């Protein structure tokens, strides 16, 4: 994707980005979603190294948005909000008041633990607040924060061992602070809907591609802890207080 941007950026009257390209060619997201390890396994296709997969074969036609289309895309990007409700284990993408997508996530554990990566005891709960996306880590490295060791292979939920995928991680800044609280894909989706991580918000591989391409730099992010919600049928639900914030002292 970077090579296409580099090739055609000089021919456009605006600064062409991969987000422009992919949003103007939504089939690309569908193609990338289908590289998800578990989607491939559903098609009886085991992939040891996803990095060797050719997602966009030579000969595919890609639309380069004109200046009007680019302007409309920019307006749409500026209206995007990433909304995460921790006890609901849900991440939603909205454009203004219109919800576009909803994904199941996992969140940080309700405990404190020493992490070698930071060199101190950390509260692993996912932190609430409002902020922005401040970085995309495209050349991802997988590091165990407990011992600060980098790893290159992983055991999947089906007990098969594979190399790690190269899907962008999204870094957030919440309430003006960068906690290292990332939005990133998990290689073990069995953990979704659970209090499981070291504070990050994890989603399926396929979902990570959607979020990445709908959320360029400076996209607004809201992380909340709302126990009282209204479901799709209009019923009021009270969620489990997973962090014990509402316990009486």
Considering 19, 20, 179, 200, which one is annotated as catalytic? 200
Give the tens place of pLDDT for each residue, 98-138: 999 999 999 999 999 999 988 999 999 999 999 999 999 99
The alpha carbon of 109 is separated from its chain's Cα centroid by a whole number of angstroms, namely 18
Tell me, what's the pLDDT at 55?
A: 80
Considering 19, 20, 179, 184, which one is annotated as catalytic? 184
CATH number, domain of 210, equals 2.40.440.10
200 is catalytic: yes
The answer as to whether 25 is a domain residue is yes
The answer as to whether 209 is a domain residue is yes
d(CA 223, CA 50): 31
Instruction: Output the CA torsion 41→43→48→52 (10° steps).
Output: -140
The mean pLDDT of the chain is 94
The answer as to whether 178 is a domain residue is yes
Supply the range of the domain harboring residue 196: 2-238
Q: SS3 of 54, please?
A: coil
Tell me, what's the pLDDT at 95?
A: 96
Split into its structural domains, the chain has a count of: 1
The answer as to whether 245 is a domain residue is no
The answer as to whether 249 is a domain residue is no
Give the tens place of pLDDT for each residue, 23-76: 999 999 999 999 999 999 999 999 999 989 888 878 888 999 999 999 999 999
d(CA 79, CA 98): 10
The answer as to whether 243 is a domain residue is no
The answer as to whether 247 is a domain residue is no
């Amino acid at each position: 994707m970077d090579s296409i941007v580099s090739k055609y950026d000089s021919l456009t009257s605006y600064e062409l980005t991969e987000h422009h390209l992919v949003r103007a060619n939504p089939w690309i997201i569908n193609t990338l979603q289908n590289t998800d390890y578990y989607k491939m396994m559903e098609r009886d296709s085991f992939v040891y190294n996803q990095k060797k997969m050719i997602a966009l074969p030579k000969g595919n036609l890609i639309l380069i948005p004109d200046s009007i289309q680019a302007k409309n895309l920019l307006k749409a990007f500026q209206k995007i909000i990433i909304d995460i409700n921790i006890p609901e284990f849900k991440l939603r993408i909205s454009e203004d008041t219109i919800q576009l997508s909803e994904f199941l996530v996992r969140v940080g554990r309700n405990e404190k633990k020493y992490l070698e990566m930071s060199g101190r005891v950390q509260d692993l709960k996912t932190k609430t607040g409002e902020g922005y996306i401040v970085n995309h880590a495209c050349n991802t490295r997988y590091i165990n924060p407990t011992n600060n060791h980098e790893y290159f292979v992983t055991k999947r939920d089906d007990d098969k061992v594979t190399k790690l995928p190269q899907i962008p991680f999204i870094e957030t800044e919440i309430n003006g602070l960068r906690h290292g609280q990332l939005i990133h894909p998990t290689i073990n989706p069995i953990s979704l809907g659970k209090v499981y991580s070291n504070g990050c918000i994890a989603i399926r591989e396929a979902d990570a591609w959607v979020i990445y391409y709908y959320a360029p730099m400076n996209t607004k992010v809201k992380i909340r802890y709302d126990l009282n919600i209204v479901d799709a049928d209009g019923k009021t639900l009270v969620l489990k207080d997973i962090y014990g914030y509402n316990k009486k002292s």
